[in-house]
Amino acid sequence: MIWKRSAVLRFYSVCGLLLQAAASKNKVKGSQGQFPLTQNVTVVEGGTAILTCRVDQNDNTSLQWSNPAQQTLYFDDKKALRDNRIELVRASWHELSISVSDVSLSDEGQYTCSLFTMPVKTSKAYLTVLGVPEKPQISGFSSPVMEGDLMQLTCKTSGSKPAADIRWFKNDKEIKDVKYLKEEDANRKTFTVSSTLDFRVDRSDDGVAVICRVDHESLNATPQVAMQVLEIHYFFSTTMKENAKPEQPYTPSVKIIPSTPFPQEGQPLILTCESKGKPLPEPVLWTKDGGELPDPDRMVVSGRELNILFLNKTDNGTYRCEATNTIGQSSAEYVLIVHDPNALAGQTGPDHALIGGIVAVVVFVTLCSIFLLGRYLARHKGTYLTNEAKGAEDAPDADTAIINAEGSQVNAEEKKEYFI
């Protein structure tokens, strides 16, 4: 087979030289305007590459394609290399196009189109083969993760050429502060790329999808992605431990909620131990005054609830519930004071003392207003009578006194009218 292939190659080469020699005498002058034209080609591994060589002015001069190893692939329309992946697309005096299917990385290199003029003219076309990156994988996550822990995730992909780009996203927001590593594969053609993401988790990360995205020109704008959904265990809380560092977990918080704000003697009471966390703290432990519940028949624990039947004064005290999960333990206390139903009813009825006080103030203000008004009217009336008597005293006789009195009265009325 090797001997036959070599013979075929020698045959076409000799034919090309003979054709070149035969046409050289009459075509040297005309061949000066003949040039083969080619273009570089980029193809994804496994795809098909089309190599085209064109000659705008050709006077029946042969065209030839050869591979990077200088093996003739096609001489005009005649196939020279036995490779089922290589096929003729078009052959004429002005064009020679061939296709290479199922392209591999080893096909990459410089291909030559030769125009057999005198001298021979060539044009180079570089075939670039893109290595497609493998689907990325995320490693480093072990469920569950405790709140406050430092998490390190690594995304890795192999087989890319050129080296792929890796980007991280959390809650659809890109994370920039990551580490990037590129290593050449054993074939010395492709690359293995990895990226490491470090961050400290908190409860807001629970259920969040962390996405590793691989971008590469071979993917036709459709990146490959890998996703890791986080599961974070934590205790519910609203405040941080005093002087705690940011990397420490939040201080656990538990709350006791009574079924009524005024527990009454003879009535039932339900105390609910509300504790939030992941995993959910279950079950909870109830105690009274630092010891066990004194009356298990009346004090029944059901899940998170403590049911006390028929409250009495002996139930007064401090009740405590403790909740525990994988993060730790937390507790809350409730001081129970059992109220007398009658006293509580009196407190909750209308405040008659308050109402009486308001009425007394209103009456007092009214009386004061009436008293002040009376004094004001009496004072003005006294002034009028005094002026009338003064007019009678100054008169020399009775008739004049009457006249003066009437005049004073008229003046007083005028003044009174003016006053009003």
pLDDT attached to residue 32:
52
Is the model more confident about 371 or about 249? 371
pLDDT attached to residue 214:
97
Please state, in angstroms and rounded to a whole number, the distance separating the CA atoms of residues 89 and 276.
71
pLDDT attached to residue 368:
86
Residue-wise pLDDT tens digits, 22-69: 444 444 344 456 899 999 999 999 999 999 999 988 888 999 999 999
pLDDT attached to residue 71:
96
- Across the range 269-285, mean pLDDT stands at 83
Length of the chain counted residue by residue: 420
Please state, in angstroms and rounded to a whole number, the distance separating the CA atoms of residues 89 and 106.
22
Q: Quick check: 137 pLDDT over 80?
A: yes
Q: Quick check: 91 pLDDT over 50?
A: yes
Give the dihedral sign, CA 61/73/100/164.
Answer: negative
Of the pLDDT bands very low, low, confident and very high (cuts 50, 70, 90), residue 166 is very high
Beta bridge partners, 209, equal 229
Q: Quick check: 194 pLDDT over 70?
A: yes
The first and second tokens of residue 212, run together, are 């590793």
Asked if residue 249 has a cis previous peptide bond (ω within 30° of 0), the answer is no
Q: Are 237 and 255 in contact (CB under 8 A)?
A: no
This prediction has a pTM of 0.59
Tell me which residue of 52, 155, 143 sits closest to 100, measured CA to CA: 52
- CA distances to 391, 397, 400 from 411, rounded to whole Å, are 11, 21, 16
pLDDT attached to residue 371:
81
Is the model more confident about 392 or about 141? 141
CA geometry: angle at 355 spanning 349 and 359, to 5°? 165
- Across the range 374-387, mean pLDDT stands at 64
Asked if residue 279 has a cis previous peptide bond (ω within 30° of 0), the answer is yes
Is the model more confident about 191 or about 385? 191
pLDDT attached to residue 58:
83
Helix or strand (DSSP H, E) at 23: helix 2-27
- Across the range 178-200, mean pLDDT stands at 95
Q: Torsion-angle region of residue 268: left (phi > 0), alpha (psi -120 to 50) or beta?
A: beta
Is the model more confident about 31 or about 79? 79
- Across the range 248-252, mean pLDDT stands at 45
Residues of the chain with pLDDT > 70: what percent? 75
Please state, in angstroms and rounded to a whole number, the distance separating the CA atoms of residues 11 and 366.
136
- Across the range 135-142, mean pLDDT stands at 94
Is the model more confident about 252 or about 178? 178
Exposure string of 382-392, with b = 16+ CB inside 10 Å and e = fewer, is: eeeeeeeeebe
pLDDT attached to residue 382:
56
- Across the range 90-94, mean pLDDT stands at 93
Pairing of strands 121-130, 41-44: parallel
Residue-wise pLDDT tens digits, 304-362: 899 999 999 999 999 999 988 777 788 899 999 999 887 655 555 556 667 777 888 88
The first and second tokens of residue 249, run together, are 């977990």
pLDDT attached to residue 398:
52
Tell me which residue of 242, 262, 261, 260 sits closest to 251, measured CA to CA: 242
Of the pLDDT bands very low, low, confident and very high (cuts 50, 70, 90), residue 381 is low
Q: Are 79 and 88 in contact (CB under 8 A)?
A: yes
Cα 348 → chain centroid: 50
Q: Quick check: 419 pLDDT over 50?
A: no
Residue-wise pLDDT tens digits, 227-240: 999 999 886 654 44
Tell me which residue of 285, 286, 279 sits closest to 327, measured CA to CA: 279
Tell me which residue of 166, 148, 150 sits closest to 251, measured CA to CA: 148
